[in-house]
Structure 1
Amino acid sequence: MPQHPENVLPALIIPAYNPDQRLVTVVNALQQHSSAFSKLVIVNDGSESSAIFGTITTHPNLIVLSHPNNLGKGAALKTGLRWVQENLPNCSGAVTADADGQHLPDDIIKVAKAFAKHPQALWLGCRDFKAKHIPFRSWLGNTFARYTFALGLRIKIPDTQTGLRGIPSAVFDELVQLPSNRYEFELDMLIVAKRRDLRFQSTTITTVYEPGNTSSHFKPLQDSIIIYKNFLKFSGVGIASAALDYGLFALVYGFTGEILLALALARLVSGVFNFTLNRQWVFKQGGSLLTDATKYTALAATLVLCNYGLTKGLTWVGISPFIGKPIAEIVVFLLSYGLQKKLVFR
């Protein structure tokens, strides 16, 4: 079997919180394919017992890192990425996998080998959500995230929540500085990859779920709110801005009968409101106020023209501006989140 140079091989990172024997099984199986990776990094994320980690430390190309307390999956992944940065500076990247047996060793190696051939892309091991045995909460969560990312961020991938990923070292610096520490880290990773114009590559993996999915530490309501909090906040600001915008539009159009004037004045007032809340509350990042305001204004002007074109076009087919305006607003809203995240508050 041909040997890859060590700097081409990715490291493997597996975060683990209160793992069972399945972690040992996965580690032992991975050791049979040690030529496919440079190092296996296990991160003990504050497990109640460390006994099981002691049974796997005899492997020469394996290291166990430990958190004194449970910090979350994202924090554990960042700890692993930092270790790879500091100790394997020439490594091409890292492949991450879960410790609960949902990622089979053969699939982990499959992603590692694919990544080694094309280490500039973000690789995703994607499950088949059309399978009948998929838990409803997993199907619902992935479907919602998939359409949200496709419409709002123009990220089109079959599985947004997979933990089996090949991550290029080029984005390590940005990833380890992300504030997210739980499951939302993996979705933030997709946003970083999109912002850095990385290619998204995927390969199909075996879909494994135990009855009831009892080994998962994912809390559907609590963690879903954390994962989508920025999008939910953005949506709330958008709804408030749209209400203000529509009210002013109706008022000005009612007095003047001019669509463009009504759109421009309404968007000016609602735009200042929207910019202020998005900058200070939703994205909490960007450049100087002047730079952000300039980019936001340019984007807002472009979106006003799009809004105008859609609203005007709908009037040509007999739809009242009072109905056409909300339709156009929905389309513009879906574009706005991704464009603000990518171009303005980056």
Structure 2
Amino acid sequence: MRVAVVIPAFNEAATVAGIAEEALQYTQTVIVVDDGSDDDTATQLLELPVTLIRNDTNLGKAASMARGFAAALAQSMDVVITLDADGQHRPADIPRLIEAAVKYPGDIIIAARLQGRDSMPRSRRFGNWQADFWIAWAAGYPIRDSQCGYRLYPAALLQRLGVRGGRRNSFVFESEVLIEAARIGCYARCIPIDTIYGGSPRASHYRAASDTMRIILMVAGNLIRSGLYPLGLLRSLGLLAHPGITLNESEAKSPDALS
């Protein structure tokens, strides 16, 4: 299996080199997209055998991922793994994502932050729980940690769906792709990983009010267009079996919002 790792980075000089170097232990193809950083993010990578793509200005996460995906697909990769540059995703979990991809070929694999969740602020946990509920409803099956960007995508799925760039879609893509993928028979499978929160010295790039509202509007639009998808609600709650997917217990059981 040909594996590429794509790392979007914006002002991550303190952590990006360590993350990229560790990722290189598991694949020879590591692509870092510097999203117009005004610190030494790019300089930190000059000694490493990675593909460095630089945006002239800060375009947002979705646009950076789109460029990284394009570079990976141009090299005929089979799967693309995305992880953040801030140290909250451990490259050591890459083999587990690949193992899951072998077990579930053609599906998205989410490295779900289900272990040690107490390190995440309660407000963030509650927000993630809400997102899981709405996105699972629109997708039509239970999804855990829908907001985690540590994922494995089949290259064929990326070629089929593409990525909408632009700042307005910066954090919408990772939610929207789960819904759109489900409609063509591609589902999200979860493997549990440790929750690492607060490891980066800089503030989160996620803008709680505006980015959350964009995700809500995207999901609401999908539900309205599908007639509120009542079957999807029942399936997402585990009250009705999904005809196209069988979930194991760890995937189907929804985590408590504040556990």
TM-score by length of 1: 0.60
SS in 2 for 1:103: coil
SS in 2 for 1:190: helix
User: What residue number does 2:18 align with?
Assistant: 25
Q: Distance in 2 between matches of 1:177 and 1:158?
A: 22
Q: Does 1:58 align with 2:47?
A: yes
Change in CA separation of 1:57 and 1:77 when aligned onto 2, cut-off 3 Å: same
**Matched-pair contact (CA < 8 Å) for 2:138–2:179:** no
User: What residue number does 1:44 align with?
Assistant: 34
SS in 1 for 2:88: coil
Q: Distance in 2 between matches of 1:210 and 1:99?
A: 13
Q: CA deviation at 1:232?
A: 3.8
What is the percentage of aligned positions where both structures have the same residue? 25
User: What residue number does 1:251 align with?
Assistant: none
**Matched-pair contact (CA < 8 Å) for 1:153–1:335:** no
Q: CA deviation at 1:104?
A: 1.3
SS in 2 for 1:58: coil
**Matched-pair contact (CA < 8 Å) for 1:107–1:206:** no
Q: Does 1:201 align with 2:189?
A: yes
SS in 2 for 1:37: coil
User: What residue number does 2:4 align with?
Assistant: 11
SS in 1 for 2:209: helix
Q: Does 1:84 align with 2:72?
A: yes
**Matched-pair contact (CA < 8 Å) for 2:13–2:44:** no
Q: Deviations over 1:211-246 (max 9, x none)?
A: 8985311011111011121234567xx6xxxxxxxx
Q: CA deviation at 1:93?
A: 1.4
Question: Which amino acid is the alignment partner of residue 157 of structure 1?
Answer: I
Q: CA deviation at 1:47?
A: 0.9
SS in 2 for 1:127: strand
Q: Distance in 2 between matches of 1:38 and 1:95?
A: 13
Moved more, 137-146 or 210-219: 210-219
- Greater helix share, 1 or 2? 1
Change in CA separation of 1:213 and 1:137 when aligned onto 2, cut-off 3 Å: farther
Q: CA deviation at 1:113?
A: 4.5
User: What residue number does 1:335 align with?
Assistant: 230
User: What residue number does 1:143 align with?
Assistant: 129
**Matched-pair contact (CA < 8 Å) for 2:139–2:180:** no
SS in 2 for 1:99: coil
Q: Does 1:128 align with 2:114?
A: yes
Give the paired residue count: 231
SS in 2 for 1:333: coil
Within a 5 Å distance, the mapping from 1:233-248 to structure 2 comes to 233=221
Q: Distance in 2 between matches of 1:110 and 1:336?
A: 32
TM-score by length of 2: 0.79
Which structure is richer in relative contact order (CA contacts within 8 A, separation 6 or more)? Answer: 2
Q: CA deviation at 1:117?
A: 5.8
**Matched-pair contact (CA < 8 Å) for 1:10–1:115:** no
Q: Distance in 1 between matches of 2:220 and 2:148?
A: 21
Q: Deviations over 1:288-328 (max 9, x none)?
A: xxxxxxxx8xxxxxxxxxxxxxxxxxxxxxxxxxxxxxxxx
User: What residue number does 1:272 align with?
Assistant: none
Q: CA deviation at 1:122?
A: 0.7
**RMSD, aligned α-carbons:** 2.7
Q: CA deviation at 1:83?
A: 1.0
Q: Deviations over 1:177-229 (max 9, x none)?
A: 43563000100111122112113221111100118985311011111011121
* Larger-Rg structure: 1
Change in CA separation of 1:119 and 1:92 when aligned onto 2, cut-off 3 Å: farther
Q: Does 1:110 align with 2:103?
A: no
Question: Which amino acid is the alignment partner of residue 123 of structure 2?
Answer: R
Q: Deviations over 1:161-186 (max 9, x none)?
A: 11100000111224434356300010
**Matched-pair contact (CA < 8 Å) for 1:37–1:112:** no
Q: Does 1:171 align with 2:157?
A: yes
Q: CA deviation at 1:26?
A: 1.3
Q: Deviations over 1:132-158 (max 9, x none)?
A: 222123212211111112333313121
Q: CA deviation at 1:130?
A: 7.1
Q: Distance in 2 between matches of 1:135 and 1:99?
A: 20
**Matched-pair contact (CA < 8 Å) for 1:137–1:220:** no
Change in CA separation of 1:220 and 1:171 when aligned onto 2, cut-off 3 Å: same
